[in-house]
């Protein structure tokens, strides 16, 4: 084996190599540059498309020929999107569930088809005015960039999943211009696992991506929120009330979105084009009746940032209209995301709440604070990623003054939304995706493929103090090494497992999910 060529190493030797952390840093950075470049071009394309949309529709107002011409263009774009989805079905919906499934090893999308298809579809949808965001597609474009780098470097399946996670972080970072949000989203929502190699590679990807985006598009965040100053403690009752409200609204948001998917799902598969025809038709009507609702919601952000704060009725109408239009677009399976519309909806919730709170004694000075708090609360209630919600608002406001109140809102929204029994948004979408792929008999692994994974022994867990030979290892699982106190040892059957031991094991790819679940339960900390 050529020690100078990482690609020539077998997976086990590479995983045990002390050069792996260094290798993952530059690989993560490479993925970040690739993903950042694609998402930067994607953002430029969307900006162009939205500009053309607004120029054309504003000039066509009151002109019957112009309006008919726009609907004819919508029909052409509808056909184009349908053909792209037929060519590559893995681009449907937001793209985040597909990346989740890739990381789980349950999905194997062809990156060379997904990237151009998703790019073209997103541009066409932005030009059409559908109420969808760029963040979900950006995560998928980034994830596929990670997969492309992995294939180019001939990495094994386990490391490929890590690089896909890096790509997801790069895509999220580039979409929001928020690198820490990209890191936390990838760890908390995509990978759902924390380890030193994963963290350093994900951070490298997010930073490299953000650096590239800032060189092309500048350093301003996509949504610039403001936090005037920290709230007086007496006003924290309003913060608590907003957190509770965001939890309930987050659950309501998810149920409505899931209902929209169910309604569209009743349309036969052979008439799938009809599903997309509905949001395209709505977009045409909205363009000439309520243009603020178009696309992700930049026009609504401008309303929230206006010097004269809108009335409760105006904010409530925008909130209801934007939500219903987004549900109609997303439920159809159109290849766009909901994260940016979610941020806009959260801002509207916070803004409407602040108008009510002002009548109960809140100083008008703090209205912008509640717009930012609404973003964090609704994000946490919908996605169930409270840490990411806190970091997102921190990066969008650039202020640590918000930390206490944002954390309180996010935690309360997360708890309340969970207690309602409503599924987390992306977990529900992932379950639906896995169920559909299971029906089609698709698989992401071939016979004989192996995966390498790690698990940490928690204090007081079932494995602490047990000998290796006494552990009921999942079928097809073999323990390779134990990382203990900075050193590495090769275990024997008599080796006793201790708290904080990191177990490196190899398992059949098809059995990885089952093995990971069983070992996680056995290693769960109980003190």
In a domain, 224, yes or no: no
Last residue of a domain, one of 157, 188, 217: 217
Last residue of a domain, one of 434, 457, 492: 434
Please tell me which residue, 3 or 43, carries the higher pLDDT value: 43
70 touches 60 (CB < 8 A): yes
Over residues 481-516, the pLDDT tens digits come to 888 887 888 898 899 999 888 888 888 777 777 788
Q: What is the mean pLDDT of residues 29-53?
A: 96
Q: Are residues 117 and 246 in the same domain?
A: no
Q: Are residues 61 and 152 in the same domain?
A: yes
Give the pLDDT of residue 476.
83
The tally of domains found in the chain comes to: 3
In a domain, 303, yes or no: yes
Give the pLDDT of residue 3.
39
Q: Would the pLDDT of 441 be above 70?
A: no
Q: Are residues 458 and 400 in the same domain?
A: no
Q: Are residues 200 and 262 in the same domain?
A: no
d(CA 363, CA 168): 40
Give the pLDDT of residue 96.
93
Q: Are residues 175 and 276 in the same domain?
A: no
Q: Would the pLDDT of 160 be above 60?
A: yes
Q: Are residues 374 and 456 in the same domain?
A: no
Q: Are residues 165 and 248 in the same domain?
A: no
Over residues 85-129, the pLDDT tens digits come to 999 999 998 899 999 988 887 888 999 999 999 999 999 999 999
In a domain, 81, yes or no: yes
In a domain, 226, yes or no: no
Over residues 351-368, the pLDDT tens digits come to 999 999 999 988 888 888
448 burial level (CB within 10 Å; 0-12, 13-18, 19+):
exposed
Over residues 408-418, the pLDDT tens digits come to 999 999 999 99
Q: What is the mean pLDDT of residues 38-46?
A: 96
In a domain, 416, yes or no: yes
Over residues 55-79, the pLDDT tens digits come to 999 998 888 999 999 999 999 999 9
In a domain, 225, yes or no: no
Q: Please count the helices (runs of H) and the strands (runs of E) in the chain.
A: 19, 4
Q: How many CA atoms within 13 Å lie on the side-chain side of 319? A: 23
In a domain, 55, yes or no: yes
Over residues 217-240, the pLDDT tens digits come to 988 878 878 887 778 888 899 999
| Percent of the chain at pLDDT exceeding 90 | 58
Q: How many CA atoms within 13 Å lie on the side-chain side of 151? A: 11
Give the pLDDT of residue 132.
94
The CATH number assigned to the domain holding 72 equals 1.10.3080.10
Q: Would the pLDDT of 243 be above 90?
A: yes
Q: Are residues 415 and 456 in the same domain?
A: no
Last residue of a domain, one of 156, 189, 217: 217
> Of 43, 38, 161, which Cα lies nearest the Cα of 101?
161
482 touches 503 (CB < 8 A): yes
Give the pLDDT of residue 16.
63
- Cα torsion through 271, 273, 274, 276, rounded to 10: 150
d(CA 449, CA 234): 59
Please tell me which residue, 156 or 264, carries the higher pLDDT value: 264
Q: Are residues 449 and 428 in the same domain?
A: no
Strand, helix or coil for residue 506: strand
Q: Are residues 154 and 175 in the same domain?
A: yes
Give the pLDDT of residue 6.
46
Q: What is the mean pLDDT of residues 445-471?
A: 81
131 touches 296 (CB < 8 A): yes
Q: Are residues 86 and 201 in the same domain?
A: yes
Take residue 81 and report the two structure tokens written for it: 């999107």
Q: How many CA atoms within 13 Å lie on the side-chain side of 339? A: 27
Give the pLDDT of residue 12.
63
pLDDT, the chain, mean: 88
Q: Would the pLDDT of 1 be above 50?
A: no
Give the pLDDT of residue 7.
45
d(CA 59, CA 135): 29
Over residues 366-396, the pLDDT tens digits come to 888 999 999 999 999 999 999 999 999 999 8
- Enumerate residues 6+ apart whose C-beta is below 8 A from 106: 434, 437, 443, 444, 513
Q: Are residues 183 and 70 in the same domain?
A: yes
Give the pLDDT of residue 124.
97
In a domain, 60, yes or no: yes
The CATH number assigned to the domain holding 454 equals 3.30.70.1450
Q: Would the pLDDT of 518 be above 80?
A: yes
Q: Which domain holds residue 374?
A: 233-434
């Amino acid at each position: 084996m050529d020690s100078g060529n990482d690609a020539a190493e077998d997976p086990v030797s590479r995983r045990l190599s002390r050069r792996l952390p260094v290798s993952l840093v530059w690989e993560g950075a490479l993925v970040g540059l690739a993903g950042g470049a694609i998402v930067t071009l994607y953002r430029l394309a969307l900006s162009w498309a939205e500009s053309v949309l607004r120029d054309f529709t504003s000039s066509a107002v009151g002109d019957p020929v112009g309006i008919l011409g726009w609907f004819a263009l919508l029909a052409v774009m509808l056909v184009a999107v349908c053909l792209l989805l037929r060519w590559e079905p893995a681009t449907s919906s937001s793209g985040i569930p597909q990346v989740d499934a890739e990381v789980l090893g349950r999905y194997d999308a062809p990156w060379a088809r997904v990237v151009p298809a998703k790019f073209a579809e997103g541009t066409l949808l932005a030009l059409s005015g559908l109420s969808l965001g760029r963040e979900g597609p950006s995560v998928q474009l980034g994830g596929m960039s990670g997969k492309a780098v992995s294939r180019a470097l001939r990495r094994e399946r386990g490391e490929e999943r890590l690089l896909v996670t890096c790509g997801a972080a790069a895509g999220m970072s580039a979409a929001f211009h928020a690198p820490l949000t990209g890191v936390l989203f990838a760890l908390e929502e995509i990978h759902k696992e924390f380890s030193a190699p994963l963290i350093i590679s994900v951070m490298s990807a997010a930073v490299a991506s953000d650096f590239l985006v800032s060189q092309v598009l500048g350093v301003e965040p996509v949504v610039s929120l403001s936090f005037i100053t920290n709230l007086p403690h007496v006003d924290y009752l309003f913060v608590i009330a907003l957190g509770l409200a965001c939890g309930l609204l987050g659950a309501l948001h998810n149920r409505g979105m899931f209902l929209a998917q169910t309604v569209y799902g009743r349309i036969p598969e052979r008439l799938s084009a009809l599903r997309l025809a509905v949001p395209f038709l709505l977009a045409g009507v909205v363009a000439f009746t309520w243009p603020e609702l178009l696309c992700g919601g930049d026009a609504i952000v401008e309303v929230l940032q206006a010097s004269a704060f809108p009335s409760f009725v105006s904010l409530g109408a925008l909130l209801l209209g934007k939500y219903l239009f987004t549900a109609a677009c997303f439920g159809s399976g159109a290849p766009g995301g909901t994260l940016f519309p979610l941020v806009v909806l959260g801002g509207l919730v916070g803004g409407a709440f602040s108008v009510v709170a002002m009548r109960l004694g809140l100083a008008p000075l703090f209205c912008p604070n509640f717009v930012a708090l609404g973003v964090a609360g609704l994000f946490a209630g919908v996605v169930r990623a409270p840490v990411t919600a806190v970091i997102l608002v921190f990066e969008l406001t650039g202020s640590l003054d918000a930390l206490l109140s944002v954390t309180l809102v996010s935690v309360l929204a997360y708890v309340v939304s969970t207690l309602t029994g409503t599924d987390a948004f992306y977990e529900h979408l992932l379950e639906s995706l896995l169920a559909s792929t299971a029906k089609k008999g698709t698989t992401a692994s071939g016979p004989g493929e192996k995966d390498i994974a790690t698990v940490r022994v928690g204090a007081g867990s079932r494995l602490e103090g047990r000998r290796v030979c006494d552990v009921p290892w999942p079928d097809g699982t073999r323990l390779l090494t134990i990382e203990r106190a900075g050193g590495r040892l090769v275990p024997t059957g008599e080796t006793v497992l201790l708290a904080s031991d990191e177990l490196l094991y190899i398992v059949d790819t098809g059995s990885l999910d089952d093995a990971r679940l069983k070992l996680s339960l056995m290693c769960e900390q109980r003190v």
